[in-house]
């Protein structure tokens, strides 16, 4: 039996056709996501920017004056 005569693994699915991605929607606004980064994060670019504004700013890096450890 040739591979052309074999039954497909899933009925109604053409094994030669490109697989369609399942739709992924933004977790914040519900819009469909299209680019790879948005699909990875689960957030669209506008919603990621909104959340970025809500995050607390990082404190500045300060050098700490510390005594030398004894025995070092």
Looking at the domain assignment, is residue 63 inside a domain?
Answer: no
Q: Which two tokens stand for residue 42?
A: 């689960």
Looking at the domain assignment, is residue 5 inside a domain?
Answer: no
Looking at the domain assignment, is residue 35 inside a domain?
Answer: yes
Query: What residues make up the domain containing 36?
Result: 24-55
Number of domains in the chain: 1
Cβ burial, residue 28 (10 Å; 0-12/13-18/19+): middle
Give residue 16's pLDDT: 67
pLDDT at 1 over 50: no
Q: Render the chain in DSSP notation, one character per residue.
A: --TTTSPPSSTT--TTSPPPPPP-B-TTT-PBP-SHHHHHHTS-HHHHHHHHHHSPPPPPP-PPP-PPPTT-
Q: pLDDT tens digits, residue range 13-57? A: 666 666 677 889 999 999 999 988 889 888 899 998 888 866 666
Does this model's pTM top 0.85? My answer is no
């Amino acid at each position: 039996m040739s591979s052309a005569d074999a039954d497909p693994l899933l009925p109604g699915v053409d094994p030669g056709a490109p697989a369609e991605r399942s739709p992924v929607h933004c977790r914040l606004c519900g819009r469909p996501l299209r680019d790879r980064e948005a699909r990875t994060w689960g957030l669209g670019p506008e919603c990621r920017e909104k959340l970025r504004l809500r995050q607390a700013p990082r404190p500045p890096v300060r050098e700490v004056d510390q005594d030398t450890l004894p025995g070092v």
